[in-house]
Chains A and B, each alone.
Chain A
Amino acid sequence: MTNTLGRWLKPVTSLKLTVFCLACAMVLVFVGTLDQVHIGIYEAENRYFRSWFLFWTPPDTQLRIPWFPGGYIVGTLLLVNLIAAHLARFKLSWKKAGILFLHSGLILLLIGQLFADIFIDRESQMRLHQGQTKNYSESLYHDELAIIDTSGDDSDQVISVPDSQLYKGNRIALPADSLELVVNDFYPNSALVSPSKLPRPAYPHLQIGPMADAVQLERTYKEDDRNRPAATVSLLQNGKLIDTYSLAAAFPRPINFQAAGKSYQVVLRPKRFYKSFAIQLLEFRHDRYAGTDIAKNFSSRIRLVDPSQHEDRESLIFMNNPLRYRGYTFFQAGFDNNDTTTILQVAQNPSWLVPYISCALIVFGMLLQFGMHLVSFVRHRVIP
């Protein structure tokens, strides 16, 4: 039984496969890192590391030709190889103990990261002006078309249509009052210009307001910039047109409308992640080294209000000292508006403990293994 299993596992357990996978990983990391210069960290992460394949699109075509395994394939293969090798050759001996510890640490780390990768919301940001309170953070990269039912007494119902659904001609049935959304036009990135600044009157644009037209821009991958989509959408109820709206994420002002006797709003805005608690910025501080503009510290004094947990307290968020609350980590990421607005990055990482455990296992394993090598080396060293 063990024998057949062993034979069957042989190709998956080989060291050659290990070396091959590690080499693929190196190529992937190297190329992905270089490409970050052009497409930014986020996009490179999606294309190279959080993907099954790298795709090549020949110019002037829509083809997507896979030419190299992506991060998921390489990572999974390595994991399978590692686990299979240990299953096939498992022997409890002191000589192998170090390697066993080291590799179990690695397996744990890989699984933990894969889990974190698949099940966690991406990072988002919370921008707070002095005194402002928010119970949501906003995505850095994605937008949503929100249809908000404002007729409730103390809370709004929000229907969020992700930007991946917003493309020209798409019809989306909304889960309320038999509403339907039709995307008439969509610009993945746009800029607002005054109507008089259009190159010519017939230049393609969306009329956002009397003073602003949206014109299409190339998608941007710059780190300090984001895409600001614009769209023209029609809302229908039971197939009957309610109205058509031109919306721009660069100017996320909600537009009111009535449907089924209820007040609604429609808005195109950065995708929101609502929390069950709220944060208010009390004070932002930007300390500099004496006589210079070099930042010494940024800190945000905030108030945390969570009615469900009966929490209402102050906290200080500063460099290397984030606020951790209910699985979220809020860390000081930046500031704006002459030091009156704080930007908190919000991350969620339920498997945060895993790296600590795997680090301990790996260190212990390596010290054991290399320590034993060192002892035998010193004992048997040959002096020429």
Chain B
Amino acid sequence: MAPRREKPGPQVREFGSLPVLAGGRVMPMDSLARVSLSQWNHHGTYTRADRTVAEPSEGLLEILMMPERADSAKLFEASNPDILKILGSPNAQGFVLFSFTELKPYFDEIEKQAGLAERTEPESRNPFQRGIVKLRAGLRLYLELKNTIQAEDSRDFGKEIEAFGRAIQPGLNAVRNRVAGQPFSQQDFRRILVFTQRYKNLVQLKYASAIPNPQRAGQNDGWQHISEALLSAIRDGRVPYAATAYGRLIAGYRANDAVAFNAALRDYQGYLSKIIPEKLARPKLEFAFNQAQPFLQAMALYVAVLLFALFSWLLWPKTLSKTAVILLITAFLIHTAGLIVRMYLQGRPPVTNLYSSAIFVGWASVLLCIILERFYQNGIGSVCGAVIGFVTLLIAHNLQLDGDTLEMLRAVLDTNSWLATHVVGEALGYSAMFLAGLIGIIYVFRGVFTRSFDEATSRSLGRMMYGVVCFATLFSLVATILGGIWADQSWGRFWGWDPKENGALLIVLWNAIVLHARWGGLARERGLALMTVFGNVVTSFSWFGVNMLGVGLHSYGFMDRAFGPLIGFIVSQLTIIGVGLIPLKYWRGMQTRQIRTPPQSPATTCVPTDAH
């Protein structure tokens, strides 16, 4: 039969916003798809065997309902040469994608190697060990996903559920009669036994719970894995509606019957809005949020801001810088919207994990930059806002690969008041530190390499850095002490020399050094600039470095992938400091100034030296 042209395809987007319980929270299917895909490959994409890329929800649909096709999709990434050797691709280079089917012959070896690697503690594993453990975890996740709403080996799960539903009552009768020593139907008895055993085995592969079951509201907030739903059906005497609904969806999808699929989808949505209307709003919003990708949009805009602001220093200063400011504010508003939606979805203050700290640090820096630009109107605020906004969102984008960014919080973090004060305060401190550091970098570059470094510019850069450092000191000192008070309230001691505490202390100490060196006349504008650049080093160590140590009560933010980039960043900052140490007479900015104006002593500002 020729396919009917007018037939619309299955409504993937509607499917993508269906709710499912995974990682302790109700999320849309689309988020489940994205979180899972990012565990498998660093692009987070679903690449079919024919190399076409499917939408995440579409990919998940395939995994859930037509696993035999999903098995050939190129999902699993390997890049470590030693792992590639194990996977029979000794000559491959870079990131290589494998399908489940392609990996099948190597399962035993992967299992063995991952088992060996797991005996090493996570912090001391080498790249091969980390990679192989991750690959096995990815394969496990894939297996679990395939068995989320059906048993993957079922030819037609819709029919199977129907048959199961019909077998429950006769089966129960047979069991009852057998226990009572009365004659019973062997066939009914055996059938229900087979089903029970099958679903008990399926429980082993439980990951996400997609079946809302109002009859089991007491457990897991009323969410069940398909296996649990079917097993509880034996006790309740009937199959939960949601399981049947998924059965119909699977039947429609597998028969390539979009009309049936879409009709079943509409029925199921209608059912959901009757039984859990209060739980639908967030997954729907989260789906829209996933689609809109506000942080990616903001990133693109920040790049545009940077270009406009940089060019404004060369030509059409008024028009270009004004455009840059308007774009910066637009990007900031999008950034803000994304931040607020995340806060609403999680029901939490903005910073709850490393990912959200990156988003927030960027946001706060951009806000400070807008304020600076409002005061100085010299394009510096725009450039800084663009750079920090872009870089922090890029960092966040990479941190996304670590899993669900809206994850539930570990027990000790489960307190909104401290998250809103101590954690937000520290993040504000970080933003100001990076902003001051970036102004320092601009000071060095404009001074050493450009002729645009007149005295007014130099002085205003100095005042900007000073103001921002004061802001950073205020927030990091107060937030650190608040952290101590939190520790006193929940651990009974104010200070425990834990790495994260020490990291915060380093920032406070460095700021104190900067301010006292300035007040004591030990550092003038150039000294201040170089010191703020070193502040970048201190802050990045405190933000990411201490998490890599894997020690202490705060080490839930453990991550090792960022080690290389962190070292690279620190080296770059030290290089910039080295450049800034070039004697002033070789600075282009200074040379021009000497030609134009009679030499003057470098400007100092306001505070007398005895302001101790």
Contact = CB atoms under 8 A, between A and B. Distances in A.
A8 to B, nearest CB: 17
A268 B500 CA distance: 36
B87 interface: no
Q: Which of B493, B497, B609 has the most CB of A within 10 A?
A: B497
Interface of A is mostly: helix
Interface stretch (A211-219, A302-310, A369-377): A369-377
Interface stretch (B110-118, B267-275, B329-337, B463-471): B463-471
Q: Which of A289, A328, A345 has the most CB of B within 10 A?
A: A289
Nearest to A358: B481
Given A26-B510, A290-B220, A116 B494 contact: yes
Contact of B502 (A23, A32, A329): A32
B513 A26 contact: yes
Contact of B485 (A123, A292, A355): A355
A86 to B, nearest CB: 8
A49 B481 contact: no
A70 to B, nearest CB: 13
Given A123-B493, A381-B375, A33 B221 contact: no
Q: Which of B221, B502, B519 has the most CB of A within 10 A?
A: B502
B414 A320 contact: yes
Interface stretch (A40-48, A169-177, A228-236): A40-48
B199 interface: no
Nearest to B491: A331
A362 B23 CA distance: 41
B556 to A, nearest CB: 10
Contacts of A370: 470-471, 474
B179 interface: no
Contacts of A339: none
B377 A383 contact: yes
A24 to B, nearest CB: 10
B491 A23 contact: no
Nearest to B542: A33
Interface in B433-473: 456-457, 459-460, 463, 467, 470-471, 473
Interface string A302-324: 00000000000000000111101
Q: Which of A34, A113, A376 has the most CB of B within 10 A?
A: A34
A85 B494 contact: no
Contacts of A355: 481, 484-485, 488, 494
B612 interface: yes
A188 B17 CA distance: 60
Interface in A1-41: 13-16, 18-19, 22-23, 25-26, 29-30, 32-34, 36-37, 40-41
A349 interface: yes
A345 B456 CA distance: 58
B550 interface: yes
A345 B491 contact: yes
A359 interface: yes
B478 A363 contact: yes
Contacts of B134: none
B312 to A, nearest CB: 14
B551 A37 contact: yes
Contacts of B223: 290-291
B415 A33 contact: no
Sorting the interface of chain B by its residue count into under 10, 10 to 19, 20 to 34 or 35 or more gives 35 or more
Interface string A353-370: 001101100110011001
Interface in A77-107: 85-86, 89, 96, 99
A290 B221 contact: yes
Interface stretch (A160-168, A256-264, A275-283, A293-301): A293-301
A201 interface: no
A25 B509 contact: yes
Nearest to B224: A291
Contacts of B517: 15, 19
Nearest to B412: A319
Given A291-B24, A381-B375, A297 B551 contact: no
A18 B520 contact: yes
A321 B490 contact: yes
Given A15-B516, A370-B471, A290 B481 contact: no
Contacts of B221: 290
Contacts of A289: 23-25, 408
Contact of B516 (A19, A36, A290, A291): A19
B83 to A, nearest CB: 27
Contact of B612 (A13, A349, A381): A13
Contact of B490 (A292, A320, A348): A320
Nearest to B25: A289
Interface string B193-226: 0000000000000101100000000001101010
Given A16-B522, A33-B546, A322 B494 contact: no
B22 interface: yes
B509 A22 contact: yes
B482 interface: yes
B516 A292 contact: no
Nearest to B225: A291
B411 A295 contact: yes
A328 B369 CA distance: 47
Interface in B500-522: 502-503, 505-506, 509-510, 512-513, 516-517, 519-520, 522
A328 B550 CA distance: 29
B492 interface: yes
A320 B610 contact: no
Contacts of A288: 24
Given A383-B375, A384-B376, 17 more contacts: A18-B516, A19-B517, A30-B506, A36-B551, A36-B552, A37-B550, A37-B551, A289-B408, A290-B221, A292-B23, A320-B489, A322-B491, A362-B477, A366-B477, A377-B463, A378-B375, A383-B376
Interface of A: 13-16, 18-19, 22-23, 25-26, 29-30, 32-34, 36-37, 40-41, 44-45, 49, 85-86, 89, 96, 99, 109, 113, 116, 123, 223, 288-292, 294-298, 319-322, 324, 328-331, 345-349, 352, 355-356, 358-359, 362-363, 366-367, 370, 373-374, 376-378, 381-384
17 contacts: A15-B517, A15-B519, A26-B510, A89-B610, A89-B612, A96-B611, A113-B494, A123-B493, A289-B25, A291-B206, A292-B23, A294-B408, A297-B414, A331-B490, A345-B491, A377-B463, A381-B375
Q: Which 10 A-B pairs have the closest CB atoms?
A: A289-B24, A329-B492, A347-B492, A15-B520, A290-B220, A384-B456, A320-B490, A292-B24, A33-B502, A359-B481
